[in-house]
Each structure stands twice: as structure tokens, then as C-alpha cells.
Chains A and B, each alone.
Chain A
Amino acid sequence: ALVVVCSPLPRLRGLLQRCWGRLERGLLPGFSGGQSPPWGPALAVQAPAFVPEPVSDTRERDEVPSLFESILWMAAPKKRRTIEVNRCRRRNPNKLIEVKRNIDVCPECGNLKQKHVLCGYCYAKVKAETRLIRMEIGKKERGPFNTPTVETVVLYDGEKPTEKDEGKRIIERARKRPSWFVQN
């Protein structure tokens, strides 16, 4: 069937004419003029569905036509974006950094902390003390996999185990009891 494509671009029309010329020459050697010859099979053979183009085509294939014609199909900005438009896009509220309103002052040390998070300073303090207690525990256990089967209690300078601490392992710490570590 004949397909007529009228396109405003001369280069596009030229490319399509070349393609059609190739098809004519490749598929139907007796078809030149525009009439449609009878399409019955001259010889029924097992053939691939498409007709491969002859490889010995002296026309340049990929470099010049595809670049020059394909440039027409690539997206490119039409106009320079003005600084006003750029500012609107860059300063749009969804691109700005959110302001955090959940910052408070820790009542113990006075440092800033987020409301739902522990204070960093107080946590570092507790972590350091825990590390020292764990070192004492390590010295008492003297080796890996020696966990005792009793509870543990931590006593500071000058403290005696009470009757609640019966049967518990005592860990001694050689310093005064800190104010934030209440006994029991």
C-alpha cells in the first residue's frame, strides 16, 4: 500500500524518501511508478518476516543522517530562564529547609535538646559513668563468658550494702556518689 506523508520539514521528507527508495529497491525490483502489483507469493519459501537491508550500501549510514536529523527530536530550552523565574523556583517553600520548633533547654544542664530526644550532655555523662562501672565489672569477672547468676549493685565511696543488697554482687567505684545517681 502507498503511504503519503506530507511533512513541513524538507529534511524529514528527504529522509523518508530515501527510506522509501531503499524499500522499493530492496523488496520489489519490478515496482517503480506507483502502481501496486499483485502481491501473491512468487515462491513459497520459509523466509524471515523482515527483509534485511543489503550490507554493501555505500551510502553513509549512521554518522551524518542520524545526527543531523535526530538533533531535531532532542529537548532543549527555548528561552533563558530569567532571574525572577529562577528565584521563584529556588525559594519556593517546599525547597527551603524546615524550621525546627521542637528544641528546648534541658532542665538539668541547660544545654539545648530536642523534646523527644535525650539531652546529649547528660547522656554522655551517664555513658562515661556506665563505661567505668563496666570496667570494674570486667576486672571482677576476669575473663569472657563469666556472667554471674546473681544481681549486681554499684556502691560508691563509704557506702555499705544494705539488707536489700543481700546476695548481690557488689561493684565498688572509687569516687563519691554523683548527685544524679540516686541510691536504690
Chain B
Amino acid sequence: MRLSVAAAISHGRVQRRLGLNPRSRLDLLRNLVTALVRHERIEAPWARADEMRGYAERLIEYAKLGDTDERAMRMANFWLTEKDLIHKLFKVLAPRFQPHPGSYTRLLQIPNRDSLDRAKMAVIELKGNPFPPLITPRRDTDKTLLNQLLKGYREDMQQGTPV
């Protein structure tokens, strides 16, 4: 019978512990959000990018309320340390994402960092950015081997059964 439980159970807590203390965690995430709004595609350790994603999406939802809204302006003022990005947020990103109901960011894992720590890295980007796409969706063409074989089989069946 197990008399002691493992100490590393979070019991439902969803926030990660980053940085030195909770204030430093918020500062780290704030820097990442500012960088994302500025550059629209950034590379970061996966845990930080994942943590930041929720905050970035909520900020865009606040921005969708419009810049006359007092709460939205206060949020944008806190989360974006570079004040010219507040203009970009309300005038560029809010109209861009107005038709979409949610999920304004894309988080993809990339190969581990090349330095000694081999950290798990991710790239997070805002959808609709002007840069080249990271994943190109492949259309199923007729030229693949499998599709050619299936086509041949279908033709054989059509010719075979009447004869």
C-alpha cells in the first residue's frame, strides 16, 4: 500500500511556473506578447510559447471590442510595452481577426535548440501574417502511385465485368 504520494502533482493548477517569481513570469510573457505583435512570428521555448498563447489570444479578443473601450485600452497598455504596437493592435490585428471567432495563433514544434540545453522549441505565429507559410497543405493529386493504381483498378473493373 502506497503510504506517500508523489510531490509533483499539480491538482488542477494550469499555470506554469516560469522565471524567478510570479511577477517575473508576467514580465517574460509580456515581452513575448509584445514581440509576437511586432514580428507576427517568433521562436521561443515551447513552454513559454504555450503559456503566452492564451494571453495573446485574449488580448486580441479585448482589442476586438474597439479602442474606445476603457478596459481594452488598459489591457493593451499593460501588455504591450512598445506603445506604437497599440496602434497596430487596434487598427491592423482587430480588423484582420474580426470575422474569426477564435484561435488567432498557430503553435508548431521545431527541432530542439542547437545549444547545450537542447530545449524543446516552438514557433508561434499570428494567422494571416505576410511571411511564407510554415506548413503547406498537400492536395491529393492524381499523379501519386496509390491514386494511379486505384484508377487502373477502377478501369479494369468497368471493362472486366461487362465482358
A residues contacting B by CB (< 8 A) are: 107-108, 114, 116-118, 120, 123, 126, 129-130, 133-134, 145-154, 171, 178, 180-182
Contacts and interface: CB of A to CB of B under 8 A. Distances in A.
Contacts of A134: 39
6 nearest interchain CB pairs?
A149-B91, A181-B132, A152-B130, A120-B111, A145-B84, A147-B88
Contacts, number: 64
B87 interface: yes
B87 A149 contact: yes
A130 B132 contact: yes
Interface of B: 38-39, 41, 82-85, 87-88, 91-92, 96, 108-111, 123, 130-136, 138
Given A133-B130, A149-B92, A182-B136, 11 more contacts: A118-B123, A130-B41, A130-B132, A133-B131, A134-B39, A147-B85, A149-B88, A152-B130, A178-B132, A180-B132, A180-B136
Contacts of B83: 145
Nearest to B38: A147
Which label, helix, strand, loop or mixed, suits the secondary structure of the A interface? loop
The interface centre, meaning the residue of B82, B92, B133 with most chain A CB atoms within 10 A of its CB, is B92
Contacts of B109: 116-118
Nearest to B82: A145
Contacts of A123: 110-111, 123, 134
A120 B123 CA distance: 12
Nearest to A113: B111
A182 to B, nearest CB: 7
A178 B131 CA distance: 12
B92 A181 contact: no
12 contacts: A117-B109, A117-B111, A118-B109, A118-B111, A120-B111, A126-B133, A126-B134, A129-B131, A130-B41, A145-B84, A147-B87, A182-B136
A181 B133 contact: yes
Nearest to B43: A127
B88 to A, nearest CB: 5
A117 B110 contact: yes
Nearest to A127: B43
Contacts of B138: 107
